[in-house]
Structure 1
Amino acid sequence: MGGKISTRGDVYSYGILLLELLTRRRPTDKMFVEGINLPKWASMHFPNKITEVVDNQLLRNVEELNKVMVLGCLSEFMQIGLICAREDPHQRPTMVETVQRLEKITSVFLGIPRAFHLPIDISPLLEGTSNPRNTNEENFESWSTSTS
């Protein structure tokens, strides 16, 4: 929004895309008026009223026994979307952190233990870039949708 191009804008776009997929709503939906946008609307219902914003098709044909697990997974994905779509670019995670968080959620949901890493070595791409963020696993535990 400030006119400066950065990868943090890509993270924002990814967050919006993830929220679109989960809610089946577009950011340009006519329901978003008077300062309410897709991330604000989703965060108003997160985490206690997630069933009111998640696309019902995602819960179709889910057995009652699995519904809690599926809702937990969808909640985790929504949290990633909300964090990536934060208004302040400096509060957004990097895409590397986001992918690592997605891998963690996927492995827990599928019950497959995995090492949390990207499938390719991207360290040569990161050389010469300044990345003050800590990308270790403990950092993911501190992710929060709050802006404080």
Structure 2
Amino acid sequence: MKRLTPLLLLLPALASAQDRGELAFNKACAQCHQAQAPSPAPKRAKGTREPVGPAMDQVVRRKSLEEIHAWVQSPHRFNPKAICDTRLLGPDDLEPLMGFLATVTVPAEPPRRVVLKQRMEQQVTERTRRKKAEAEAKAKKSQSTNQGKK
């Protein structure tokens, strides 16, 4: 319980940092990026445009948060043709934004065929292990029976 109390006291601060990061993302990034790529193609409302930039969960899989932080600070240094305008972000918005990106981007589920293949491999391994254990038990049993007959 003693260890739990400090964590409980930190929860509101962590939640407010998450909210500040989400506000920073919505203020400067959401015009061109989505936090997560939609799994099926969603229907867009009339008058809205498709995001120009990649979904941030895909970016976080390819780049580290340090690289993204450097990009956000000066995108034109990395790509002079970048249309990314991060001037709306203040220096105090960068850390909450990085925290938001780290928490909101969840690795995508593997494709169904990969999941099925992994399950099948686990089942085969388990079945092989079980058969081997049964064979060893049977060998021990027959060995002990043979010793008793001598």
* TM-score normalised according to structure 1 size: 0.30
* TM-score normalised according to structure 2 size: 0.29
